[in-house]
Structure 1
Amino acid sequence: MSESTGLLGPTAIREIAAALGIRPTKTLGQNFVHDAGTVRRIVRDAGVQSGDAVLEVGPGLGSLTLALLEAGAYVSAVEIDPVLARALPTTVSARMPEASGRFAVLLQDAMAISDAEMLAVPDDFGRALNSAASGQELGSAPALTVDAIAEKRSFAPRALVANLPYNVAVPVLLTLLENLPSLETVLVMVQAEVADRLSANPGSKIYGIPSVKAAWYATAVRGAKVSRNVFWPVPNVDSALVRLDRHPILTQTPREDVFAIVDAAFAQRRKTLRAALAPWAGSPARAEAVLRAAGIDPQVRGERLGIADYIAIADASRALS
């Protein structure tokens, strides 16, 4: 395809950015992908099929968005930058007009999405949203008529596919997994170190809070490394893909209880669990009692435990209360 249609190449990326007066900012983690092979690989590795409902966070100038639409997906994109959010429908219409009815964009902080009802619906109704957005000030949701609200269907995405900003990748990922139970698979491009941590196993040096909390929701597998040269501007760190496949709910134990223990266990990595969990439990003695009731050696460290162990600690604590 030429630079005037289809996926975005280096020339198109710079032309669109120049037209919008955009200079990528580190604050928003803006590094735009300009390689068609990379975005197509992301879509392929995500297993996106024609007709799939896909959520994209941080679409930027639209490189990955267009690749998802090319695969036949219905895409709801969430963008925090108002300039980029307003420009994205125009880019899609100009470069892939046949896919405009399968795309909608929402100006929103992804951390503030509490359920699927907040997402724009990418179908003929999505087309109406985009038309309205081009002529009005975007807010947390476009203004709708009473009839449009009555016709609105919730958009329950099956997959999250995104190039996540490095500085907020983990909190965004965990928030969306919690708030959008419809998500079955996740394929995100993140800083390579983050991908390693998310997919790390108990006992490894990089195993930590992101590893345990991600395991609450899904099984994470580290994917391919991504060259720095496919980005503009070129970042100072390496990137990699990581895939997460949601598994059935592990327990009825409240997530907040388990995550509080995880946070306490890793707050002082070098300490034994008896010492590290003392502030959480109220005393070293009670921490030891809870750990023994959970069948865990009080002298081990937090990085040796898997998510099932942390659930067992939370259950033992409740039983001893």
Structure 2
Amino acid sequence: MNDTSGALLGPAEIRDLAGRLGVRPTKTLGQNFLHDGGTVRKIVRTANLRPGERVVEVGPGLGSLTLGLVEAGASVVAVEIDPVLAGQIAATVAARFPDADFEVVLSDAMDVTTLPGAPPTALVANLPYNVAVPVLLTMLERFGTLEHVLVMVQAEVADRIAAAPGSKIYGVPSVKAAWYASARRAGTIGRTVFWPAPNVDSALVQLERRDPPPTTATREQVFAVVDSAFAQRRKTLRAALSGLFGSGAAAEDALRAAGVDPGARGETLTVDQFARVAEQLPAADARATGGQAPGQEDA
């Protein structure tokens, strides 16, 4: 599609459109509307999309990033929870890119299990900051066709998702994201490109799908171990996993069988090591699959 200077929404247009719709950004929905065309195109370039690639966007809002995606020739399906915004965005896209391959789904992203059209191979989104990690992990779980992801989140959250073992900020989001993909921070976004300007910094995090660790444990079992390991970060794994395995002695035996030091702490383990620990869970133990939902995190 042609790259015309007026194709994207600017600050005045964002405010005008919001005013006409009676939309006031809410903290409850984590709404901060992106209004800078240069930033939008930077995000789209960083996403490195193939021509015609099917992209799912979560939380398109007034459509700033959506327009950038269709301008680049992507086939876009947007998931929007706000009925007013969902009703408007198709008209906004059609007015500026009449030939765009675009669909909108009115839904909470946490409730979406199927999407219309071809299965998406990319997720590109400015995620609502209050639910960014649960949404990201849920989309990775439910849509195995997603090959690559680029999301804008709170800078602190981006660092935690991309953190490596041994880091002070390595935790539940880091390990669960690593189950699905490799992650890295891919850029910083200034506060002034949003309306209203958020009171936190933003960053891009890029993920590339990879196979989960080779293991006989289920994802639910691995995530149950991860949740328990980080429930009280200062505890050793022997103490942190005692409830999951029934006793400290049983946890120690399981850790040693997995080749993990019982005196270590959760932030030192890779996702592969967590998987080896999960393999030691009693097969008939209901607690083995009783961890948090895949999208939950240590806030």
Relative to the length of structure 2, the TM-score reads 0.91
* Partner Cα separation in structure 2 for residue 22 and residue 56 of structure 1: 20
Residue 172 of structure 1 is matched in structure 2 by: 135
Matched residue SS, 2:281: helix
1:301 aligned partner, one-letter code: R
* Partner Cα separation in structure 2 for residue 16 and residue 119 of structure 1: 27
Gaps (5+ residues) in structure 1?
Answer: 122-154
* Partner Cα separation in structure 2 for residue 318 and residue 246 of structure 1: 30
* Partner Cα separation in structure 2 for residue 90 and residue 281 of structure 1: 55
1:253 deviation in Å? 2.1
- The answer to whether the 8 A contact 2:140-2:146 is kept is yes
Residue 105 of structure 2 is matched in structure 1 by: 106
Structure 1 pair 227/63, CA: closer, same or farther in 2 (3 Å)? same
Residue 229 of structure 2 is matched in structure 1 by: 265
- The one of 269, 272, 278 equivalent to 2:242 is 278
Alignment of 1:1-321 (within 5 A): 5-99=6-100, 102-114=101-113, 118-121=114-117, 155-251=118-214, 252-318=216-282
Task: Spell out, residue by residue over 1:247-282, the C-alpha distance to the aligned partner (whole angstroms, 9 max, x if none).
Answer: 023234200000000000000100110001111111
2:33 aligned partner, one-letter code: F
1:119 aligned partner, one-letter code: L
1:105 deviation in Å? 0.2
* Partner Cα separation in structure 2 for residue 271 and residue 169 of structure 1: 27
Give the ranges of 4+ consecutive aligned residues of structure 1 lying more than 4 Å apart after TM superposition.
Answer: 318-321
Gaps (5+ residues) in structure 2?
Answer: 286-299
1:2 deviation in Å? 7.8
* Partner Cα separation in structure 2 for residue 26 and residue 165 of structure 1: 9
- The answer to whether the 8 A contact 2:213-2:271 is kept is no
Matched residue SS, 1:295: coil
1:305 deviation in Å? 0.3
Aligned residues, how many? 282
* Partner Cα separation in structure 1 for residue 109 and residue 9 of structure 2: 24
* Partner Cα separation in structure 1 for residue 165 and residue 283 of structure 2: 26
Matched residue SS, 2:238: helix
1:319 deviation in Å? 7.8
**Greater helix content:** 1
Task: Spell out, residue by residue over 1:144-196, the C-alpha distance to the aligned partner (whole angstroms, 9 max, x if none).
Answer: xxxxxxxxxxx300000000000000000000100000000000000000000
1:68 deviation in Å? 0.3
1:311 deviation in Å? 0.4
Task: Spell out, residue by residue over 1:278-307, the C-alpha distance to the aligned partner (whole angstroms, 9 max, x if none).
Answer: 111110000000001001110011100010
> Percent of pairs identical after alignment?
62
* Partner Cα separation in structure 2 for residue 80 and residue 94 of structure 1: 22
1:49 deviation in Å? 2.3
1:50 deviation in Å? 1.6
Larger radius of gyration: 1
- The answer to whether the 8 A contact 1:217-1:247 is kept is yes
* Partner Cα separation in structure 1 for residue 213 and residue 64 of structure 2: 36
Superposed CA RMSD in Å reads 1.5
Matched residue SS, 1:316: coil
Task: Spell out, residue by residue over 1:97-129, the C-alpha distance to the aligned partner (whole angstroms, 9 max, x if none).
Answer: 232xx0000101110112xxx3133xxxxxxxx
Matched residue SS, 1:94: helix
1:296 aligned partner, one-letter code: V
- The answer to whether the 8 A contact 1:198-1:211 is kept is yes
1:315 deviation in Å? 1.2
- The answer to whether the 8 A contact 2:238-2:262 is kept is yes
* Partner Cα separation in structure 1 for residue 199 and residue 188 of structure 2: 14
Residue 138 of structure 1 is matched in structure 2 by: none
1:317 deviation in Å? 2.8
Structure 1 pair 296/13, CA: closer, same or farther in 2 (3 Å)? same
Matched residue SS, 1:170: helix
